[in-house]
Amino acid sequence: MKINDPAFSVVIPAHNEEKYISRCIAGIKRAAHYAKPAAVEIIVVANRCTDRTAEIAEKYGAKVIVNDEKCLSAIRNAGIHAASGTIIVTIDANSVMSKYSLCETKECLESGKYIGGGSPMRFDRMSVGILCSAAAVAVHLLPIMIQNKAALSGGMFWFYKQAFLEIGGFDEGLVSLEDMDFAFRLNALGKSCHQKFGSLKHSYIITSSRKFDEFGDFYLIKNMKMTKRLFTGRDREAADAFYYDCR
C-alpha cells in the first residue's frame, strides 16, 4: 500500500439522502479523528438521486460515484470496487457511527482474530410499534441464523477489501437481505481460516427511524405477508415498494 493510500474506505449507498448525508459524513470524520494516524476515504454511491445528495456529499469532502441500479448489492459493490483503502466499512446514509467506531474496527481487524464484523444499532427514537416490529424481524431472521449456524450483527459492516474480493462481494442476485447473506459468507470464510465474525463491543450506530415514519411503526406487524416476502431476498415487487421506490 502506498503511503498516501487511505487505511479506511467508508462506503455509503445514498438514494435521495440530502436530509441525512451531511450528518453521516460528519460522524465518519469525527471517528476518523480518533482513528489517527489512519487516513479515511469517504465514498458516496449516489443512486438515482433527484435531490442535492451528491452536491452535499462533495461539499463535505466525499468522493461521489454514480450507480443507477435498483439493487443494493450492486450499489455497495460499485463503491467498494472504487475504494482505495485496505479496510472497508459500509454504513447507510441515514446512520451515524459513534466516535470510536473506526478505532475499534481497526483494533479488531489488526488483532487477527476477526475476518470482519458488524455493529450494534440504535434507532433515533423508540416506540412500542418499533419494538414489536423488531421482534417480527427477529422471528424471520432466526430460522436463517439457525440454518447458517451463526448469530451475526449487521448495521455497519467492516472487513478487509481482500476478504470482500475472496467471497465475490455482495450477491447481486439479491434485491433485499443482501447484507445478512454477505455476513454469513464472510463468517464462513472466517471459519476456514480460524477467524471470527465479530461485533463492535463499545461502539454503535444511530440510525433514523424514517422507515417507520414513512410506513407507520406497526407496518411490519400489519403486513406480515410483505415482511415475509422481503425475507426471501428475491422478491422484486416487495423490495421496490419498501426500499427502492418508497421515496
* pLDDT per 10-residue tile (average), the chain, 247 residues: 64 97 98 87 97 98 97 97 97 97 96 95 94 85 66 83 98 94 94 94 95 92 90 93 82
For residue 38, which phi and psi values (nearest 5 degrees)? -70, 135
What are 39's three cell numbers? 487516513
Q: Within a domain: residue 131?
A: no
Type of residue found at 204? Y
Domain that includes residue 112, residue range: 8-120+152-204
Q: What domain count does the chain have? A: 1
Q: Within a domain: residue 138?
A: no
* HEC-encoded secondary structure of 218-238: CHHHHCHHHHHHHCCCCCHHH
Please check whether residue 73 is in contact with residue 170, taking contact to mean a CB–CB distance below 8 angstroms.
yes
Q: Within a domain: residue 113?
A: yes
Q: Within a domain: residue 244?
A: no
Q: Within a domain: residue 38?
A: yes
Q: Within a domain: residue 39?
A: yes
SS3 content of the chain, % helix, strand, coil (to 5): 45, 20, 40
Q: Within a domain: residue 57?
A: yes
Confirm whether pTM is higher than 0.75.
yes
pLDDT recorded at residue 37: 66
Q: Within a domain: residue 209?
A: no
pLDDT recorded at residue 5: 52
Domain CATH number, residue 22: 3.90.550.10
Please check whether residue 7 is in contact with residue 85, taking contact to mean a CB–CB distance below 8 angstroms.
yes
Alpha-carbon Rg for the chain, nearest whole angstrom, is 17
